[in-house]
């Protein structure tokens, strides 16, 4: 199975991209809802949680792991690759590839959680590939709770987004990485505020496109993965909020299985 894990519910936006680009494959999801969010936590804690999440996926049959969470990708991907001998996809690398493809003036913005921004991972990877690129990073911690509350179109949300985007506008970025699973819900408002000429990049989409590419190039692995729609959704806390957001976000009712952490 294609295993996907996230700090909580946000990874469902990445699952949606699997349904879109790799619809034949069975998905196994784990959302660490008993310990969400990861975005304000320290590196060691995120590494521990990410390893436990990956182990839950493996125990339940995952043969490929997708780290849907930007924070876990930023802080724990190298650590997981040391510990686990299995293809591991994180969201940062394919996003950097895409950003460098589309940027015209090498002015790239990154908006994400505090932990992702503090890790400076996007900046490091972009500059390692293009020394002339300039990277502008800012965290936007209130966007996750606003999205989870479903406040997508409220005036307060628009005002807060405007405030968070101001430094990117002042820096005249031409490309903006939406470095958190929750932000694609705000794509339209962010595009409006940034202006049409700014390219927005959704790491979940880039990651699933790179996974698709990998499966095309590794037909044996692709053939070995089960193909059916008996997707499974594991969570560490099967609370009502997750259930309700899952319906809203995936457009279908899902059965939650609670696992002990």
User: Which residue is catalytic, options 72, 180, 200, 245?
Assistant: 180
- How many Cβ atoms are within 10 Å of 125's Cβ, its own excluded? 19
Structure tokens at 234: 């594991």
Nearer to its own copies, 209 or 261 (CB): 261
Nearer to its own copies, 40 or 213 (CB): 40
Q: Which of 114, 124, 169, 232 binds its own copies (CB under 8 A)?
A: 114
Q: Does residue 69 carry a catalytic annotation? A: yes
Show the binding pattern over residues 4-43: x = contacts its own copies (CB under 8 A), - = does not: -----------------------------xxx----xxx-
Residues 127, 187: Cα–Cα separation, whole Å: 26
Q: Least separation, in Å, of the C-beta of 248 and its own copies? A: 15
The reply to whether 254 sits near its own copies by the rule CB under 8 A is no
Q: Which positions ≥6 away from 235 have C-beta within 8 Å?
A: 30, 31, 32, 33, 34, 242, 256, 257, 258, 259
126 beta partners? none
DSSP letter assigned to residue 203: H
Q: Which of 16, 19, 45, 189 binds its own copies (CB under 8 A)?
A: 45
Q: Can the peptide bond before residue 37 be classed as cis, meaning omega within 30 degrees of 0?
A: yes
Q: Does residue 140 carry a catalytic annotation? A: no
Angle 161-167-172 (CA atoms, 0-180°, nearest 5)?
110
Which residue is listed with tokens 């849907």?
68
Number of residues located near its own copies, criterion CB under 8 A: 26
Q: Least separation, in Å, of the C-beta of 146 and its own copies? A: 7
142-171: which residues touch its own copies (CB under 8 A)? Answer: 142, 144-146, 148-149, 151, 155-156, 159-160, 163
User: Which residue is catalytic, options 9, 46, 69, 234?
Assistant: 69
The reply to whether 237 sits near its own copies by the rule CB under 8 A is yes
The reply to whether 141 sits near its own copies by the rule CB under 8 A is yes
Q: Where are the beta strands (DSSP E) in the chain?
A: 2-6, 27-31, 64-67, 88-90, 107-112, 134-139, 175-179, 199-201, 232-235, 256-258
Interaction site with its own copies (CB under 8 A):
33-35, 40-42, 45, 114, 141-142, 144-146, 148-149, 151, 155-156, 159-160, 163, 236-239, 241
Residues belonging to the active site: 69, 180
């Amino acid at each position: 199975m294609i295993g996907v894990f996230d700090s909580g519910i946000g990874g469902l936006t990445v699952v949606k991209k699997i349904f879109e680009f790799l619809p034949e494959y069975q998905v196994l999801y784990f959302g660490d809802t008993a310990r969400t969010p990861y975005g304000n936590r320290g590196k060691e804690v995120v590494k521990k949680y990410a390893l436990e999440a990956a182990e839950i996926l493996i125990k339940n049959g995952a043969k490929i792991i997708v780290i849907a969470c930007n924070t876990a990708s930023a802080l724990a991907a190298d650590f997981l690759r040391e510990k686990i001998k299995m293809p591991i996809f994180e969201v940062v690398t394919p996003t950097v590839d895409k950003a460098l493809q589309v940027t015209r003036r090498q002015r790239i913005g990154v908006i994400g959680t505090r932990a992702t921004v503090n890790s400076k991972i996007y900046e490091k990877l972009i500059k390692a590939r293009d020394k002339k690129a300039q990277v502008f990073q800012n965290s936007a911690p209130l966007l996750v709770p606003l999205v989870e509350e479903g406040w997508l179109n409220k005036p307060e949300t628009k005002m807060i987004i405007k405030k968070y985007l101001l430094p990117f506008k002042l820096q005249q970025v031409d490309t903006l990485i939406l470095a958190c699973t929750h932000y694609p819900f705000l794509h339209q408002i962010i595009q409006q505020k940034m202006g049409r000429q700014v390219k927005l990049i959704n790491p979940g989409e880039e990651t699933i496109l790179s996974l698709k590419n990998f499966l095309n190039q590794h037909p044996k692995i692709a053939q070995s993965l089960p193909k059916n729609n008996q997707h499974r959704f594991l969570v560490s806390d099967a609370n009502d909020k997750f259930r309700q957001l899952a319906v809203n976000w995936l457009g279908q009712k899902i059965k939650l299985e609670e696992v002990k952490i």
